[in-house]
Amino acid sequence: MSDETVDPVTLEVVRNGCAAVCEEMNATLIRTSYSPNVTERQDCSCALFDVDGRLAAQAETLPVHLGAMPFSVAAALEAHPPATLEPGDAVLLNDPYEGGAHLPDLTLVTPVFVDDDLVAFAANRAHHADVGGATAGSVGADATEIYEEGLRIPPVKLLAGGEERAAVYDIIERNVRTPEERRGDLRAQVAANETGVERARELVERYGRFEDVLDGDGRGAEDLPVVATVTIDGDAVTVDFAGTASQVDGPVNAVFAVTASATYYAVRAVTDPDIPPNAGCYRPVDVETPSGSLVDPEPPAAVVGGNLETSQRATDVVLGAFAEAVPERAVAAGQGTMNNVTFGGTDDGGDGGDAFAFYETQAGGFGAGSGGDGMDAVHVHMSNTLNTPAEVLETAYPLRVRRYELQPDTGGAGRHRGGLGLRRDIEVLMDAVCSLLADRQRHAPYGLAGGETGATGATYRLDGDDTRRLAAKSTHDLEAGDVVSLRTPGGGGYGDPTERDAPGRRRANSRPARARRRVAGVEVPNGQRLCRGAATAPPCRTATSRITSRIWRSDRPSRAPAGPSRRRTSTCTRCSPATGRSCTPTRSTPRRGRSAPASPRGR
Amino acid sequence: METRLAVDVGGTFTDLVAVVDGAVHVEKVASTPEEPDRAVVDGLEAVADRAPPASADYFAHGTTVATNAVLERSFAETALVTTAGFRDVLEIGRQDRPDIYELHGSKPDPVVPRDRRYEVDERVDARGEVVEPLDGDAVAALAEEIDADSVAVALLFAFENPDHEERVGESLRAAGVDSVSLSSSVLPEIREYERTLATALNAALRPTMDGYLGRLAAALDDADVAAPLRVMGSDGGVVRATDARERPVETLLSGPAAGVRGAAHVADRLDRPDALTMDMGGTSCDVSLVTDGEPLVTTEVTVGDYPVAVPTVDVHTVGAGGGSIARLDDGGALRVGPESAGADPGPVCYGRGGTEPTVTDAHCVLGRIDPAAFAGDVGGATEETAAALESLGDRLGVGPREAAAGVVRVAVADTARALRVVSVERGHDPREFSLVAFGGAGPLHAAAVAAEVGVPEVLVPRVAGVLSAFGLLVSDVTHETARSRVRPWDDVDAEDLERRFREFERAGADRVPDDLPVEHDRFLNVRYAGQSFDLRVPAPSPVDGAALSAVADRFHDRHAERYGHAASGEPLELVAVRIRTRGVVEPPDPAPPADGDADDAVRETRTVRFDADRETPVYDRGALPPGATVEGPAIVEGPDATTVVRPSDELAVADDGTLRIEVGR
């Protein structure tokens, strides 16, 4: 394991309820083993580890086992890196010089996968009554070399892809005095871990975890994962951004306050948006962020776009993580960007005029939900600013708005369709500089419950007949007469498009033109390519649903959070002073060093 | 004989006030929502013995036809013509969403659906210069293509240069469209969304309003009403029926505006130019602010989710009325409204089958209203009323009377909060205001509300139950014209401005009846260059260089007054030119009530719950003479409203019969 691995299921996720899982593993081990040493003396231990090999929870049994087991897991992963592990694998070892303690203690490490993602490890250790060697019982007091103490097993797969590896069993059985009992105890160990795998998997599935990406930081086109794990425990909500990309050079780092603000918004929106301001306090919300990350950068990282863009993605992932917990409140992703645009120059286009600078943000589609279609052309989530009326804009600046219209068919199809993005074309009447800061131009807003993604956004420079696409985050020198054409993303759809009531939940006369197209669209079988209409929109996109719970992927380059994770606790954004709770996020001590996973070697 | 008639149509009742040579006659008839004009005729018949319709010299009307059409979205089949590239402005709006935390929100449906929104190639710039000419042939072809009952035309910068809009309008009329609304006429002001929406709403309402007022005019004709039909506009001025038929969007708050006008008039006659008003009916309470005798006018009201930017009396509405239902929310807190028992079945005490406790029922249980008063209908329902509040009390863990007191307290608190919104939150100290209470349930709550807000005095007008109708008789006939003209202040040409004002004055004078004396109020909307929002500053007549600098000074003063700071060195910007033409109406002068002895006005004494049970005299309002004073507690029963005077209050009857309550603690 190293820092370069995408972050795992976090300690927080696994810790809650994991102890119970370990108890259950232990019970399985004891009930199904053959040897009295395990069944009666209970000389065994069970534990769960996070994907970094850090101890997450354990059955409170033998201290001598428990403290040493992390080394076993580390050794197993050293020998069998996560990328080589598959569901159904289990790694056995007992070599004291490679993860073991003494030879009779056989440790079995089983990876836990959810879908295709490695999320955790279940491990147990049982003291076998005999592992060969000079003395029956393999605990001879007169041994001077380890060779006299029994069979040494380096980390080796006992199971591969769910199949027992007969050769490994054979080797063990031919080197011990009580082979049937060994076989039985080994199978009990396998069963115990299976129990752990099942329960851990359920546990992980109960916690909402959601990942999405920013298109990039403007300095490169590299995806920047934003990950949120939401844990609901009674009244408390914990949102952990572990797994989010490290802070970046470009100006899209969101300081903790912004991340916390996005989180509070999302939590409030999915829980009880109608709660009256005086009705007492809101659910406590813990926000945890890896320091030095995109969502909690260290100075002097540039942050201007964090407030504008990353805050939106943070909201998207928190809402996405909540989607399973509160499906009736869930919505597909909205446009997920504020589409910032700035024009600057002088009002005569040269050095002599008065300087001007005009900034605005553009609306886009809102995500559809169980309740209905997403709103068209609104600011989503973290923004709700008004537009600049074209007439006001033109009165004040040497700019002319050429178009301001909805873009048909940009909302993701679904039983309820996503909101439409818009198009706004602005002509510069003087030479000017234009800066763009937008996102969701490569990665589309996600759909939910079978709904399709919304259309991605785009920006073009129109110069007569010449149309050139501009990067989402970029700055350009424009000549008088150039038109910047902003196309904003649509919202994701909700539910199976074939279940849509034509012409949809909206009033029949509200949008017949689009309704017709939409009806035509859903006639195409699911999974086929759906043509998405207008020439201005990206021509075609596949109608496959996205992966919504990617935890760990061995085939992806990864970015790890750099420093220790911060845990900060706050209550709400609008609690009354009378409750005595603070509204200000307060830092508590760093949770633990993320850069220091359990040492792989004990010597 | 001078006869003035006013009819205000509400959701439940149609109120009629007739002033015949100073004698005030009041009638209430049931509204007929399907055909509101029928109730108007019913009302005229009801009062005909005292005020023969044929003798009417003046007839004014308050209507909810436009309001209801918007609330129910029952619009005519309407088309919209916009500048190419801007047909979705109506639907995009200002790109904000109504409720930031609502993930499942929706925008109001656009007034005109997309398939009936058309574009024409043309462009006018911010200075009114034509950048791209209008193609007459293309427009004529489009006019032929459009198939709609009513068409709105809203082109960019039409307020600077209406030529293109007017030409589109001509083509439409030539193609047979009778109802054409131009943005340069409906709301000639900057901001394309607000202007387009107002124009679209106007177009969508026109056929309905035109039909309604046409029918009403015919019915009045049949009833031999010779006086011309006039209609209350949202801004508190009465307009000619022909104007209302052309510009129905200006009547959206017709009824509430009339009420505020009436309240302002009553307060002003008692030398109280600054007043808060409170109109509590069956389902809601409208509150508003009057300064210097004038209702506050705003261009930021929302009707049925649509932001309507036409000048409107600034009325703030809360869902607390006599019929509002009391319930416990999920958290176990007592809430009142916004659900209402309405007129049918109405509160439990009406005995018409209502089962849920309302504010009115709470007053019955507390002894403030005599349930027997409703006995005329179906025998009252004293026991059922007590049972409803007992059941509410059980859930709260208190007795029925404590529950009733709680319900009233919540209704009072809701109303008080609304009054704070229009006073304290807008920089007005309520201690310097009087509270004019009207509507059927207003005088029941006014003293308690005033005490909570800190208003020292409550005024209950003589016609408290029908004050909106009375307000129709005291309002000037007005016509307001405004046009956006965004210019740096230094570029403003005084001569050009004067010419424009005179043009407006001529046009305005045509819009008010010949028989009324005409006055013009001139205004300029001004701001600091770079600001988005402006202030309306009175302008002198005639306008010259000196007058302009006086306007500038006044702007700085107003800015300081309103926002606490001014920057006299900063450049100003002219935003709009505005004129209000008034046909001045001489308000009726109702004869004072008869003299007599207050003690003779006592009908009975009954036990009423205040802080404790009190033996309380109940007065007949009609028998209370001017100058009478009464120490609280007291109940004053009028034909259309009951007034509560709490133990710490003191009541005095003004010369015109208005009840003046000095509010105790």
Spatial distance between the Cα atoms of B422 and B291, rounded to a whole number of angstroms: 12
pLDDT score of A541 more than 90? no
pLDDT at A551: 22
Residue contact B192–A391, C-beta within 8 A: yes
Q: Within a 13 Å sphere around the CA of B167, how many CA atoms are in the beta-carbon half?
A: 16
* Amino acid found at B585: V
Q: Which residues of A touch B309 (CB under 8 A)?
A: none
Max avg pLDDT among A90-94, A307-311, A327-331, B301-305:
A90-94
Q: Nearest-CA distance from A114 to chain B in Å? A: 29
Q: Which residues of A touch B107 (CB under 8 A)?
A: 375-376, 378
Spatial distance between the Cα atoms of A85 and A70, rounded to a whole number of angstroms: 18
Q: Among A456-460, A482-486, B187-191, B327-331, where is mean pLDDT lowest? A: B327-331
pLDDT score of A274 more than 70? no
Cβ–Cβ under 8 Å, residues B411 and B336: yes
Residue contact A369–B191, C-beta within 8 A: no
Residue indicated by tokens 């937008």: A438
Long-range Cβ contact pairs of B395-402 (< 8 A, separation 24 or more): B395/B328, B396/B328, B396/B334, B400/B365, B401/B365, B401/B366, B401/B609
Q: Nearest-CA distance from B175 to chain A in Å? A: 25
Measured between CA atoms, the residue of chain A closest to residue B159 is A391
Q: Which residues of B touch A265 (CB under 8 A)?
A: 100-101
Residue contact B100–A384, C-beta within 8 A: yes
pLDDT at B450: 96
Spell out the domain ranges in chain A.
Answer: 11-205, 207-330+548-603, 332-538
| Start-to-end C-alpha separation, chain A | 17
Cβ–Cβ under 8 Å, residues B24 and B462: yes
Averaged pLDDT for residues A373-398: 91
Cβ–Cβ under 8 Å, residues B257 and B311: no
Averaged pLDDT for residues A336-359: 86
pLDDT score of A4 more than 60? no
Max avg pLDDT among A87-91, A326-330, B330-334:
A87-91
Residue contact A379–B192, C-beta within 8 A: no
For residue B33, whether the previous peptide bond is cis, meaning omega lies within 30 degrees of 0, is no
Spatial distance between the Cα atoms of A65 and B17, rounded to a whole number of angstroms: 94
Contacts with A, B 175-214, CB within 8 Å: 190-193
Find the CB nearest A391 among B85, B100, B156.
Answer: B156
pLDDT tens, B243-276? 999 999 999 999 899 999 999 999 999 999 999 9
Measured between CA atoms, the residue of chain A closest to residue B196 is A389
What phi, psi does A178 have (nearest 5°)?
-125, 75
pLDDT tens, A567-578? 444 333 333 333
3 state SS of A402: strand
CA angle B126, B129, B130 (to 5 degrees): 115
**What domains are there in chain B, each with its CATH number?**
3-70+209-254 (3.30.420.40), 75-205 (3.40.50), 325-408 (no CATH), 477-583 (3.30.1490)
pLDDT tens, A210-233? 889 999 888 877 899 999 988 776
* Low-confidence stretches of chain B (pLDDT beneath 50): 375-376, 378-379
pLDDT score of A513 more than 50? no
> And the tokens for B237?
């001025």
Place A529 in a pLDDT band, splitting at 50, 70 and 90.
very low
> And the tokens for A544?
């496959």
pLDDT at A540: 24
Q: Which residues of A touch B533 (CB under 8 A)?
A: none
Instruction: Give Cβ neighbours of residue A249 (< 8 Å, ≥ 6 apart).
Output: A217, A219, A302
Which residue, among B448, B453, B458, has the nearest Cα to B429 in the 3D structure? Answer: B453
Q: Which residues of A touch B528 (CB under 8 A)?
A: none
3 state SS of A497: helix
Query: What ipTM did this prediction achieve?
Result: 0.83
Spatial distance between the Cα atoms of B453 and B447, rounded to a whole number of angstroms: 10
Q: Among A59-68, A119-128, A452-461, A526-535, where is mean pLDDT lowest? A: A526-535
pLDDT score of A592 more than 50? no
pLDDT score of A587 more than 60? no
Furthest-apart CA atoms within chain A: distance in Å: 99
Which residue, among A597, A444, A455, A471, has the nearest Cα to A538 in the 3D structure? Answer: A455
Cβ–Cβ under 8 Å, residues A363 and B92: yes
Furthest-apart CA atoms within chain B: distance in Å: 82
Q: Among A38-52, A248-262, A514-528, B102-116, where is mean pLDDT lowest? A: A514-528
Burial of residue B387 (CB within 10 Å: 0-12, 13-18, 19+) is middle
Q: Does B137 touch chain A (CB under 8 A)?
A: no
Strand order across the B642-645 sheet:
B602-609, B613-620, B634-637, B642-645
Residue contact A379–B95, C-beta within 8 A: yes
Q: Nearest-CA distance from B88 to chain A in Å? A: 5
Spatial distance between the Cα atoms of B151 and B170, rounded to a whole number of angstroms: 12
Q: Does B88 touch chain A (CB under 8 A)?
A: yes
Please report, for residues A93, B440, B554, the alpha-carbon distance to residue B232 in angstroms, rounded to integers and kept in the order given.
91, 21, 31
> And the tokens for A112?
């836990």
> And the tokens for A515?
């309704």
Q: What residue ranges in B548-601 does DSSP mark as E strands?
A: 572-583
> And the tokens for A199?
């329960």
Q: Which helix (H) or strand (E) holds A16?
A: helix A11-32
pLDDT at A48: 84
Spatial distance between the Cα atoms of B458 and B443, rounded to a whole number of angstroms: 9
Helices (H), A379-465: 390-396
